Structure 1
Amino acid sequence: MMNSRCCLTAHISIFAATAMLAGPVLAATDSQQTEPSEWSVGLGVGGGWSPEYLGADTYKAEGLPWIQARKGQLSINPVTGISYDFLKSERWKLGPALSYARGRENSGALTQFEDVHGSLLAGAIASWTSGQWQINGDIAAPVSGDLDGVRVRGYLRFCGKITNRLLYAAGPGVSWASNRWSRALFDVSIEDAARSGLRPYRAEGEYVQGSMNGRLTFLVTRKFSVSTVAQYSRLFGDAADSSIVEDVGDANQWHGSLAINYQF
């Protein structure tokens, strides 16, 4: 039971720390949980602290309400979007998914830049669970908005408990995106450079974002819990070399959140 609740609460509360990123960190599915025949719904509210945009060295706080629902093989949540477990075994899940990736709302040093609008993504997600270990991954491509190319993400997590009420999860993650995705977020056009004073930049290759993630969840009751999430990540490749990051930003990114969760 502990492992099931551990992975389930990670699935919910991590949204508070990751919804402002280009991608989630600990988005999880619960392979040990019996599929509900009726709708199972979770609600929550919290606050998150993260960079103003990917690669920024300035931070902002946001209120983060969320809703999650599941029925049978269908799952809806703010991290992985809408997914369907097309293939499922005791340890594996694989299926199609529709999700959303934020673009870039320009502020600070990028106030004069053109905004990068977010995109609806179509792709596939997969998860593997063995005891307290879990691996999650997804691949997706935009079908709308300003993002372009392909994004691939993967996460490894270990779930455990300190006491019967205090649970934890921790592990690394990595995101990779093609050069077209990198250009959408990190290119500096001649026009943007003239307006902002930054040097022009064109991303010629992919970018990688590596992260370490941790979560603590306190189970107040069987349905009510409080979670806190912390994440450190670093940008590599053409993203880190962009003048958006190298000149006026920071390749090192920090994120934190606190969320109250209730599962109906």
Structure 2
Amino acid sequence: MKQNLMFIAGLCAASALTSPAAAQEAADSSSASGSETSVYDGDWLSVGVGMGYGPSYDGSDDYVAFPIPVVQGSLGGIGISPRGGGLALDFLADPKKGVGFDFGPAVQLRSNRASKIEDKVVRSLGKLDRAVEIGPSMGITVAQVFHEYDTLTFSTDIGWDVAGAHKGMVVSPALTYFTPLSRGAAVSLTASAEWGDRKFADYYYSISPAQSAVSGLAPFSAGKGFTKAGLTAIGGIDLDGNLLNGGFAIVVGGGYSRMLGDAKDTPLTSVRGSPNQWFGAIGIGYTF
């Protein structure tokens, strides 16, 4: 679940450290009234660093801590959003209100079972290579759902491994609701899932006869399908009490994910791990 946690922590920074959608809505409203300008009026960039804590691999019941860097912003009209070990670009400008569309490329590094494998039996299977997944990121955002500053976004990333690790395809849909709680605080709630093709599932969840002989785990052949689904809550507080002027902010986030299908039934999860995956993160960022 390390990969999921990195993505979620990235959303922490995207939603609360920078609050690009809702803060921009607030900025548009303020600018229209002539009362205030915002750091989000033109080009802006947010950088952050945090610490995550989650399962050592997808399906593990051993937990590890690791650092999380995050970059988020908008430069020259191109949106930049964080991903686990990567980022996504958005070439389409969002309207000030109503429905907007997102589209651009995404790239992310998947490090599942590539390091920090705490379980000695799973470690005996050998470390996996890191995958680099590249593909389109697309979404629909609805602004002002319940009030003037909230947003609801449905997004999907589709990635193909170009590094020769799993050599397959993975699809990651998500539904996120974002709303400020006050001038200096905001929260987001996200429901997400992951679907992998046969190559993806086989690489991460199958156990070959040779691996079975080494580890004592039963052989297992994993097929395509949904591998996980979960819910995440994220909250952020601007340290000077004003999300619109940038500066420093602190974010905390946590959530639960459930392994599904063959990703749940594999002995890596059912025998050596757990289908219940908990995770959390805390970080600090600066927007300018």
Please give the alpha-carbon distance, in whole angstroms, between the structure 2 residues aligned to 1:168 and 1:253: 22
Q: Deviations over 1:55-99 (max 9, x none)?
A: 001101123233445412445554163444344452111122232
Q: Between Structure 1 and Structure 2, how many residues are aligned?
A: 246
Aligned to 1:42: 46
Cα contact 2:3–2:112 (8 A) shared by 1: no
1:24 aligns with 2:7: yes
Please give the alpha-carbon distance, in whole angstroms, between the structure 2 residues aligned to 1:189 and 1:36: 55
Structure 2 counterpart of 1:97, from 84, 106, 122: 106
The worse-fitting range, judged by mean Cα deviation, of 214-223 and 96-105 is 96-105
Please give the alpha-carbon distance, in whole angstroms, between the structure 2 residues aligned to 1:128 and 1:204: 30
Q: Deviations over 1:193-236 (max 9, x none)?
A: 11111111111332331111100101113321100011100011
Higher-helix-fraction structure: 2
Please give the alpha-carbon distance, in whole angstroms, between the structure 2 residues aligned to 1:36 and 1:19: 34
1:107 aligns with 2:118: yes
Identity of aligned residues (%): 24
Give, as a single letter, the amino acid of the residue that structure 2 aligns with 1:120.
V
Please give the alpha-carbon distance, in whole angstroms, between the structure 2 residues aligned to 1:225 and 1:45: 11
Decide whether aligned partners of structure 1 residues 260 and 92 sit closer, same or farther in structure 2, where only a CA change above 3 A counts.
same
Please give the alpha-carbon distance, in whole angstroms, between the structure 2 residues aligned to 1:58 and 1:44: 26
The worse-fitting range, judged by mean Cα deviation, of 76-85 and 238-247 is 76-85
Aligned to 2:90: 85
Aligned to 1:258: 282
Cα contact 2:197–2:223 (8 A) shared by 1: no
Which structure 2 residues correspond to residues 1-264 of structure 1 after superposition, within 5 A?
Answer: 20-21=3-4, 24-25=7-8, 27=11, 30=20, 33=24, 40-68=44-72, 70-76=74-80, 78-79=82-83, 81-90=86-95, 91-105=100-114, 106-108=117-119, 109-131=121-143, 132=150, 133-221=152-240, 222-264=246-288
Partner of 2:204, secondary structure, is helix
Please give the alpha-carbon distance, in whole angstroms, between the structure 1 residues aligned to 2:210 and 2:276: 27
Decide whether aligned partners of structure 1 residues 23 and 199 sit closer, same or farther in structure 2, where only a CA change above 3 A counts.
farther
The worse-fitting range, judged by mean Cα deviation, of 219-228 and 67-76 is 67-76
Normalised by the size of structure 2, how large is the TM-score? 0.76
Decide whether aligned partners of structure 1 residues 217 and 37 sit closer, same or farther in structure 2, where only a CA change above 3 A counts.
closer
Partner of 1:135, secondary structure, is strand
Partner of 1:99, secondary structure, is strand
Give, as a single letter, the amino acid of the residue that structure 1 aligns with 2:270.
E
Aligned to 2:31: none
Cα contact 2:232–2:253 (8 A) shared by 1: yes
Please give the alpha-carbon distance, in whole angstroms, between the structure 1 residues aligned to 2:107 and 2:285: 24
